[in-house]
Amino acid sequence: MVRVLVFGAWDDGVGYPRPRSLLRALNDTGHEVVAWRLPSTFAGQRRIDVVRRPWRWPAAAARVFAAGRRARTSFAAARAAVTPDVVVVPYPGHFMAPMVRSVFRGPIVLDLFLSAHDTAVEDRGYFGPRSLVARALAGIDRRACEAADLVLLDTPTHAQRVATTCGLPAGRVGWLPVGDPDAAAAAEPYPELAAPLRLLFFGTGVPLHGLPVLVEAVERCGGSVHLDVIGGSPAERRAIAARPSSCVTLGPAFVDRVPLQRAIAAAHVVCGVFGRSGKTARVIPFKVMHALAAGRPVLTGDTPAVREWMQPGHDVLVAPTDDAAALADTLQGLVREADTLPAIARAARAAYERRFSPEALADQCRALLAPLLGAHHAPDRRASVHA
């Protein structure tokens, strides 16, 4: 029986699908899985706030150091209780993976998921690419990756990028998509087609989403499409509120899963990402998986990551990124060919089942672990996960 210890201080709850889908995939591999979660030193938005304010780093480093000492003690207890064959460190594990490596000689899997450097420097533009802070963040990424025998990202394109920037051989970097651990067993019926075509955007408004590009494209369509916005950054919400439009409805800044699911079910098309950062080309955000699972056509940027997984025009709709005029042309084309959308909706759910469902992720996770564990470690019963 293979014993997998999932150890770290990951963010928990419905707003953090990556660790939840990773745990689900591990649980479904058939290995024995024990999850040992520590309190997070800087959870969620607090982590972002610390990263973007370098003058707070000395105090943050002291807290991280103290947390590291406690984590070392906790890992010793976890290791004694579990006797793991492999340790999996979920995101964010940039500091946890080196600590685990310092005391554990067995195989370590780090779910890097997001590069600290790419997120803060390239995607959000907090620091210049040649700044000392950028170099420090790249060093944090590199040391975390070097501590692991296998580093996981969410797409092959993203994995290749991290392998290049961190100097890792291809065999030490893999990919596991983000799943939707709360997806319904089946998609709801597609809504009746009627004018205007109803689009839905939801998300936090990070730059890769490209919400301003989407809003401008909708306004170019002369009322043939209507956009409902849930979320967006504070600045984006203020900009939309300052120029009221009959084509755009500004909804709540945040909704729970049930009302969000209702909004998705009512939409003819769910909007993905249209930003201009390099990260846009490398990832498939959770919002895309969420819409696919709901059986709704997704319109998103035409990127290498999307084309690796899906077939534009069949199970996903694509448009150029960072180009409101081209996106408006695509939207007007959808209005003219709206009768094709129900078939794309069915293909979208099939694509979810094929690529992003719990079963698909478990198969991928099992294949990723196999080379680390060796042929003699064949799983013989369903996993049990303990909080």
Q: Residue 384 pLDDT more than 50?
A: no
Residue 149, C-beta contacts closer than 8 angstroms, at least 6 positions apart: 107, 108, 109, 172, 372
Of 111 and 170, which is predicted with more confidence? 111
pLDDT at site 56: 66
What local confidence, expressed as pLDDT, does residue 80 receive?
A: 95
Share of the chain above pLDDT 90, in %: 68
Mean pLDDT of 24-29: 95
Residues forming a β-bridge with 199: 227, 269
Token representation of residue 92: 């964010």
pLDDT, tens only, 332-383? 999 999 999 999 999 999 999 999 999 999 999 999 999 998 744 444 333 3
What pLDDT does 49 receive?
A: 64
Q: What is the mean pLDDT of residues 3-30?
A: 90
The reported pLDDT for the residue numbered 378 is 43
What is the pLDDT, as a whole number, of residue 13?
72
- The C-alpha atoms of residue 386 and residue 26 are separated, in whole angstroms, by 12
Highest mean pLDDT (candidates 31-40, 144-153, 157-166): 144-153
Which region among 2-16, 140-154, 365-379 has the lowest average model confidence (pLDDT)? Answer: 365-379
**Higher-confidence position of 286 and 62:** 286
Whole-number pLDDT of residue 107: 97
User: How far from chain centre, in Å, is Cα 126?
Assistant: 20
Q: What are phi and psi of 279, to 5 degrees?
A: -65, -30
The string of pLDDT tens digits covering residues 70-129 is: 889 999 999 999 999 999 999 999 999 999 999 999 999 999 998 888 888 877 777 888
Measured between alpha carbons, how far is 272 from 86 in angstroms, rounded to an integer? 35
pLDDT tens column, 249-278: 999 999 988 999 999 999 999 999 999 888
* 176 has a pLDDT exceeding 80: yes
